[in-house]
Amino acid sequence: MFFRFGLGGCCRTDTPEPLYALKMNTPLDDAALTAFLESQDRTWLTEQLMLIADEDPITRIRLSGAAGAESAVEEARAVLLAHIADHLPTEDEEGDLLHRALDLLDDLIDYGFDEEVGDAADEAREMYVVRHGEDDSEHLARLHVLADGEDDQDD
């Protein structure tokens, strides 16, 4: 049994909330944190990134893709398909894991994996439609754009 704490108190849940889904309330604002990080040693920063990557598969895939690892696309495909299988269309689209997996595909395109991401997105789109139907979700719209390589609204 797990407990989730929020502004309204505590509630019981059967699954733990992922650590990366927790909102951080630190006294440093982005500018102060950025200034701190910019002043740190590269070795320390690398160690911190590797700790984060070891705890979060999406971050690890993102960093691997930035490093040019072709395996990043296959790993992203596996994560994306798993999140589509687990996705509940009634969830908030902005904060769910499927949204993060789609952001990962966007990043992989930025790293030069356009064609490979298009293939992965096409497969994911087919799976999404089979599982959830042709809905009007942002997820499906993003899959169309990623699979087709263009924004449908530009037509």
For the record, the structure tokens of 122 come out as 């096409």
Question: What percent of the chain is modeled with pLDDT above 90?
Answer: 63
Bridge partners (DSSP) listed for residue 6? 9
pLDDT bucket at 92, cuts 50 / 70 / 90: low
Which has more pLDDT, 6 or 116?
Answer: 116
Q: What is the mean pLDDT of residues 15-41?
A: 74
For 94, phi then psi, to 5°, come to -70, -30
b/e for 1-32, b at 16 or more Cβ within 10 A?
eeeeeeeeeeeeeeeeeeeeeeeeeeeeeeee
DSSP 8-state secondary structure symbol assigned to residue 150 = S
Q: Which residues pair with 10 in a beta bridge?
A: 5
Q: Is the pLDDT of residue 20 over 70?
A: no
Q: Check whether 89 has a pLDDT greater than 80.
A: no
Half-sphere exposure of 33 (CA within 13 A, CB side): 8
| Residue 63, burial from CB neighbour count under 10 angstroms (0-12, 13-18, 19+) | middle
Quickly state the pLDDT bin for 11 (edges 50, 70, 90): very low
Tell me what pLDDT residue 108 has: 98
pLDDT in tens, 113-142: 999 999 999 999 999 999 999 988 899 999
Containing H/E element for 56?
none
Read off the amino acid at residue 75.
E
pTM: 0.74
Q: How many helices (H) and strands (E) does the chain have?
A: 7, 2
Task: Round the average pLDDT of the chain to a whole number and report it.
Answer: 84
